[in-house]
Amino acid sequence: MNDLAPAILAAIFAAIVISIMGGALSVFVVLKRLAFIGQGISHAAFGGVGIALVLGVHGATTAGAIGQLAIVAAFSIAAALFIASLSRAHQGRIDTAIGVVLSASMALGFVLFTLAESKHDHDHQGHATHGHEDQHHLIEDILFGNILSTTWPKAATAIAVAIAIITITWFNRRRFIFWAFDEPVVDAYGLSSKRTTNTFLILLALAVVMAMQIAGVVLAAAMLVLPGAAALNLTSKLRPVFIYSILIGAAGAALGMAIGINAGYPAGPTIVLTQSILYLITLTIKTLAPKLRS
């Protein structure tokens, strides 16, 4: 247990900070009906993983881990911006844009993954099985994660990026709120709706990639939907809804980690289930509140 304690502490801190970041962003995601975009960006990142494999950049060393993260983040940001561009071309149909980018990126990732395996087999004949195992572990770590295996350097990177995203979101909060409620009028007031959309999607891409590094696709997508959706069940007032969303995100992470660690369940999915239960509780409150007042 003493050997596990530092890793668990790193995982708890990373999970809570990432969930706070998700709580801050998820209100905008829900208001703009962008719930599917977390899935789109996280799966699109598979293409970035493929590029890293082909280039021989992997997490075996600190420099390799940083390079791998940079490639996946850059590819995810490019995918997010391309989604925005396609959405404008399809008259705002962002679901179509997400589907196109997700499918193409996943296909690219698999093709590049096959090329990387072939290259490894050619360069290391006689050790192919070990190479395949290493590459499969890399794919699993990037796409599915294992929050309890988080190291302090990995957690510190995720926390630093999460704090940066929260800070940028705070300073742009008025613009994002205006954009979320009435995007067509943004340009008329001297603000660029295109620039605002691109800024938010870049933040979203970075948030998804950092969450994936810690806990995988499931948590990355869920953290951008569940806290905000739950908070909007409780209130429609602007300031309280952000406070509730952040609190629900943090509480879901803390409770999920505690339950997962003590019961031996996978921590990431347990956090998602906990936040899902919190959402159902808020939905019940929203449904029963008018009846109790009458």
Please state the domain extents for the chain. 5-293
* 66 contacts 127 by C-beta, under 8 angstroms: no
Tokens 């004949």 belong to residue: 125
CA nearest to 193, candidates 284, 90, 88: 88
Q: Work out the burial of residue 167: count CB atoms within 10 Å of its CB; fewer than 13 is exposed, 13-18 middle, 19 or more buried.
A: exposed
Question: What proportion of the chain, given as a percentage, has pLDDT over 90?
Answer: 28
- pLDDT of residue 27 exceeding 70: yes
Q: What is the pLDDT of residue 141?
A: 60
Give the pLDDT confidence of 71-124 residue by residue, as tens digits.
888 998 998 888 888 877 766 677 778 888 888 888 888 888 888 777 766 665
How does DSSP classify residue 124? S
Residues 6+ apart with CB under 8 A from 88: 194
Tokens of 49: 């993983």
What would the mean pLDDT of 173-181 be, rounded to a whole number?
88
The whole-angstrom separation of Cα 201 and Cα 79 is: 9
Report pLDDT digits (tens) over 229-245.
999 999 989 899 999 99
Write the CATH number of the domain with boundaries 5-293: 1.10.3470.10
Cα within 13 Å of Cα(142), Cβ side: 31
258-280 pLDDT, tens digit each: 998 888 888 888 888 999 999 99
In this prediction the pTM is 0.85
Q: In this structure, is the dihedral angle defined by the CA atoms of residues 36, 37, 38 and 43, taken in order, positive or negative?
A: positive
**pLDDT per residue over 133-166, tens digit each?**
555 665 666 555 677 777 888 888 888 999 999 9
pLDDT above 60: residue 193: yes
